[in-house]
Amino acid sequence: MMTTKRRMNVSGQFKIQQMAFMLMAVIVFFVLAGLFYLMLKSTGLNKGFTELQQEKSEALALSIAETPEMSCGGVVDGGKQGCIDTDRLITIKNSKAYQELLPVSSIIIRKVYPEIRETKECESNNYPECNQYTIKENNKGYDSGEATSYVNLCRRVIDDQYVKNKCELGVIIIKI
C-alpha cells in the first residue's frame, strides 16, 4: 500500500515537473516572440525618424528657395512654388548680411537641365552662361546632413523687343 502511494506521488511530481517545464517553454517562447516584435517595431520607428528628418530638411531647402530675396515673387507665372529668380541670385550672392540671415551652413543652387558638362560658378561677368550659384559656404561648421530640392531657375530675357521668362531646371542643395 505504502509502495503504491509512494509510486503515485512520484508519478504526480513527475507530471507537475513536466507541466512546469512546459509552462516555462511557453513563457520563453512568448518572451522571445515579443522581443522579436519589439525589435522589428523599433527598426520601423528608426526608419520613420530618418525619413521625417529628410523630409524636414527638404522642406527647409524649399522654404529658403521661397525667401523674398530669391523667389520669383510673382514676376514669373504668378509666383509659383519652388521658383528662384536667378537675376536676384546674382545680386545677393556676395551679400554678407543675407548669408548671416540664413540658418544653414551652406547653400548651393545648381542648374541640372539644360546640362553643362563642367561646373561654372555664376558671376556678373559670365551670367547666364554658367550653372552654379554658391550663396553661402561654410566648411568649418558641423555638418549634420545635406538636403536637396528641385526648383525652377527663372530669368527674364529680351527677345525681339519682348521681355520673356526663361525657366530652367535646377536643384537647391543645403547643408544644415
Partner 1 sequence: MIIEKEIRKIKERNKRVELDKAWETSMTRKITITIMTYLVMVIFFYYAGLPKPWINSIVPAIAFILSTLTIPLFKNKWMKRKRMNIKGQEEIVGFIVIVVIVMIIGMVVLGISLRKTTTVETSKKYDNYLSAMMGYTTDCTSSNGIKEYNVEEILKECLNKRTCSDGKESCEVLNKTISEMLRATNPISEESITSSYKFRAMYIMNTTENTGEEIMTIEVGECKGISQGTSKSTSSIPGIIRIELEICGK
Residues in touch with partner 1 (CB under 8 A): 4, 29-30, 33, 36-37, 40, 55, 58-59, 62, 77, 80-83, 112-115, 148-152, 154, 160, 162, 164-170
Question: How near is the Cβ of 140 to partner 1 at its closest, in Å?
Answer: 29
Q: Of 113 and 142, which has the nearer Cβ to partner 1? A: 113
Q: Of 92 and 112, which has the nearer Cβ to partner 1? A: 112
Burial of 45-74, coded b for 16+ CB within 10 Å and e otherwise, reads: eeeeeeeeeeeebbebbbebbbeebbbbee
Question: How near is the Cβ of 155 to partner 1 at its closest, in Å?
Answer: 10
Q: Of 73 and 82, which has the nearer Cβ to partner 1? A: 82
Residue 123 makes CB contacts below 8 A (sequence gap 6+) with 90, 93, 130
Does residue 121 come out as left (phi exceeding 0), alpha (psi in the -120 to 50 range) or beta?
Answer: beta
Question: How near is the Cβ of 169 to partner 1 at its closest, in Å?
Answer: 5
How many other β-carbons are positioned within 10 Å of the β-carbon of residue 166? 13
Question: How near is the Cβ of 94 to partner 1 at its closest, in Å?
Answer: 26
For residues 32 and 176, give the distance between their C-alpha atoms in angstroms, rounded to a whole number.
Answer: 41
Q: Of 73 and 99, which has the nearer Cβ to partner 1? A: 73
At residue 61, φ and ψ (nearest 5 deg) are -60, -45
